[in-house]
Amino acid sequence: MSNQEMQFADPDWKPSQKLDAKTGTQEQETFIPEPINADSRERWNTPPPPPPRQEMYTGLPPYAGATPQQPVRGQYRQGPYRRGGRGIWFWVILAFIIISLMGGGFGSAFRFGDGGRAGGPPFNGSQSSSIIEGPRVFSVSGTPTVVINGDGGAITVQTSAKSNSVSVQDTKNGGFFGNSGDPNNIQVTSSQDGNKITTNVQDNGQGSVDFTVTVPQDASLQLNTNSGGDITIDGVTLSGNSTITTDSGIISFNGAIGTSGTGGTDQFTTSSGVIDLNVSADSAFHLNASTNSGSINTSDFPSVTVNQAGTQATGNVGTASKGQGATVTLKADIGKINVNQGP
C-alpha cells in the first residue's frame, strides 16, 4: 500500500518512523516497519545488549607497560625503600675508636701484646700495659719477715719447700690513658736487712703493682695495699707479729696461727671489704673481731661469743687464752668477717 492509500484509509495515521531519512549524500536509511497488530509489551521482552567490554589497564600514556601488581616476567620487582637504623657493630666500632684515642688502644686496658713480658719492648700506648719483673730471690737463715708496701695492687703469698729463701715477683700494671699509665715509670725497690725483706712501690700515679711472694712455711708478714687491692695468704703459719691491711679489698687467709712465744699479735684490717679467716685445727689464739656495719660468723668455734647485734666477737680458739698465745684482731669498718676452721 502506498502512502497515499494509507492516508485515505486512516486520516490520523502517521508512520512510526521517519521515512526517507538520509544518512549521507548518496544513502538512505532502510525502513523496517513494525507489524500493526504487534503487542507493545513484546518490545520490552527483548534481551538487553551485552555490557561494553572494559579495556585492561595499559599504563598512563605514553607508557604502555604491565598492569599493576603484575611484574613483567624476567624482571626483579623492587620493594619500597626502607631506611635502616645503625646496627650494634656501628656502636662497637665507635666505642673502640674513642677508647683508642683516649687510652692508646685496647692493649693498654687489657694487657695485650709483648710488652707484658720481662724484657719486652717499652710500652708505647698500643701494647700491653703490664710488665713482669723478677723474681728477686733473698737468702734467709731463720724465720723471715716480709714487708710489702703496695699501692692498689693485689698481694699473693704462698709457701715453698725451701726454708732458706724468699722470692718477690712483681707485675707492673699501667693505667688507661696513654703515657700517664706507662708501667715503665713505676718504681719497685727491694732491700734486705738480715731476715727482713722490704719492698716499696713508687707508682707516680702511673698504675699499680701486683706481687707474688714465696716464703718458707713459717713467716711474719707485714702487707699493705689500698684502692681495692686483694690480699691472699695460703699455707703460711704466722709467727711473731703480722699486719695485713687493705683499704677496700678482700683478705683471704688459709693457714695457721703460730703458738710459739707469747704476746704476739696478728692484725687483719679492711675498710670496706671482707675478711675470710680459715685456720687449721691446731691453731690456738685469742680472737677479737669487730665491724661497724656488717656481720660476724664464728659458728665453727662455740667458745667465741658474738654480741646480739652481730658486730663484735671475742673468745679463745683452741687451748690458748689471752696472755698465753697470739692475739688475732679482725676489723672491718664496712664489711663481713668469717672465722672458720680449715683442714
Q: Which residue reads 725451701 in cell numbers?
A: 162
Query: Amino acid letter at 189?
Result: T
Pick the residue with more confidence: 26 or 118? 26
Tens of pLDDT, residues 48-62: 556 555 555 454 555
Question: In whole angstroms, what is the distance from residue 265 CA to residue 267 CA?
Answer: 6
Per-residue burial over 308-328, b if 16 or more Cβ lie within 10 Å, else e, is eeebebebbbbebeeeebbbb
Q: What is the mean pLDDT of residues 15-24?
A: 48
The band of 122, judged by pLDDT with boundaries at 50, 70 and 90, is very low
Tens of pLDDT, residues 232-287: 999 999 988 999 999 889 999 999 998 655 568 999 999 889 999 999 888 889 99
Q: Provide the H-helix boundaries in 117-246.
A: none
C-alpha cell at 68: 599493576
The band of 176, judged by pLDDT with boundaries at 50, 70 and 90, is low
Highest average pLDDT, of 13-22, 55-64, 212-221, comes from: 212-221
Q: Is the pTM of this model over 0.75?
A: no
- pLDDT for 109 equals 36
- pLDDT for 264 equals 83
- pLDDT for 77 equals 52
170-174, 185-189, 236-240, 261-265: lowest mean pLDDT where? 261-265
